């Protein structure tokens, strides 16, 4: 929060909006997804950046493209995934992860779901517009960063603690034997089952790679495994607990439904193409 506050102070909201307004919205979505892909954050670690982007005045759809892509793709995971499952499947995973982020951002803006962002976020943004001369001295920047960080932590700390507790309880647990028995290539409902089983679990993409390798070794189709990986990484209960502080329940439900359906579609299509 402190670092993001410094970033927002140095790069004023007006400059961010001007940068986006000067480009097509599709370029903005692509840049957000690319930023998400090169930042090595899990879903919970991405939330503070997501909040910072919203409060800096960046459109909700663009920030959501970042939030979706960030936990799904990062350069460390790409190297590990490529060495474990092969570069062809890794390239498919990266392309699909970024595409899901961009399409998610487009849909959120298309249906004007920004009305389901909590009101205090918009109040912060309006308050920043009224800020006069900016103190760019080191002392001024440190004071601003501290004030912004402590104010935001006071609002979200309980949600963060609850999210961390849930994540700690679930981290690393994957019922591999269950998948081997019930999500094989003969089960037409294997992909929806993989996504639903992945919903309550929690891991970052690097941590789930060994599990993916084991599932592929047991004969599970690649599409089913990728759908499961994405569900575990991007649909984590801790992330939703923390996001509840800035997003209203209806937008959280839309967000979860979109990701679940997108991952199912990706799994089904990949199984059909790669079979």
Q: Using one digit for the tens of pLDDT, what is the confidence trace for 39-51?
A: 666 666 667 677 7
**More confidently predicted of 167 and 217:** 217
Q: How far is CA 207 from CA 16, 71, 117, 160, 180, in A?
A: 34, 12, 31, 21, 19
Distance, in Å, from the CA atom of 137 to the CA atom of 232, rounded to the nearest integer, reads 43
- Rounded average pLDDT over 165-181: 60
* pLDDT at residue 129, as a whole number: 45
Asked if 30 contacts 102 with a C-beta cutoff of 8 angstroms, the reply is: yes
Mean pLDDT, the chain, rounded, equals: 77
* pLDDT at residue 191, as a whole number: 92
- Rounded average pLDDT over 102-130: 78
What is the pLDDT confidence band of residue 53, given thresholds at 50, 70 and 90? Answer: confident
At residue 14, does pLDDT exceed 80? no
**More confidently predicted of 55 and 197:** 197
- Rounded average pLDDT over 222-238: 85
At residue 32, does pLDDT exceed 70? yes
pTM: 0.73
At residue 214, does pLDDT exceed 60? yes
| CA angle, residues 233, 250, 123, in degrees to nearest 5 | 100
* pLDDT at residue 104, as a whole number: 93
* pLDDT at residue 16, as a whole number: 52
């Amino acid at each position: 929060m402190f670092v993001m506050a410094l970033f927002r102070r140095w790069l004023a909201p007006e400059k961010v909006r001007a940068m986006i307004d000067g480009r097509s919205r599709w370029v903005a979505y692509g840049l957000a997804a690319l930023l998400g892909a090169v930042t090595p954050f899990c879903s919970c670690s991405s939330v503070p950046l997501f909040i910072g982007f919203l409060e800096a005045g960046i459109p909700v759809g663009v920030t959501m493209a970042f939030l979706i892509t960030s936990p799904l793709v990062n350069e460390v995971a790409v190297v590990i995934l490529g060495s474990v499952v092969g570069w062809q499947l890794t390239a498919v995973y990266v392309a699909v992860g970024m595409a899901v982020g961009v399409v998610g951002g487009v849909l959120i803006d298309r249906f004007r779901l920004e009305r389901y962002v909590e009101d205090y976020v918009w109040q912060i943004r309006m308050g920043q517009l009224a800020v006069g001369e900016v103190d760019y001295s080191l002392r001024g920047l440190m004071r601003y960063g501290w004030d912004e960080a402590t104010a935001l932590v006071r609002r979200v700390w309980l949600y963060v603690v609850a999210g961390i507790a849930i994540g700690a309880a679930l981290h690393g647990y994957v019922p591999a034997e269950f998948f081997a028995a019930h999500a094989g290539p003969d089960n037409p409902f294997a992909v929806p089952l993989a996504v639903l089983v992945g919903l309550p679990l929690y891991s970052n993409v690097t941590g789930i790679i060994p599990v993916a390798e084991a599932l592929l070794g047991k004969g599970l189709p690649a599409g089913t495994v990728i759908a499961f990986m994405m569900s575990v990484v991007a649909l984590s209960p801790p992330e939703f607990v923390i996001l509840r502080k800035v997003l209203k329940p209806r937008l959280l439900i839309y967000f979860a439904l979109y990701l679940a359906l997108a991952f199912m579609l990706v799994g089904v299509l990949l199984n059909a193409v790669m079979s």
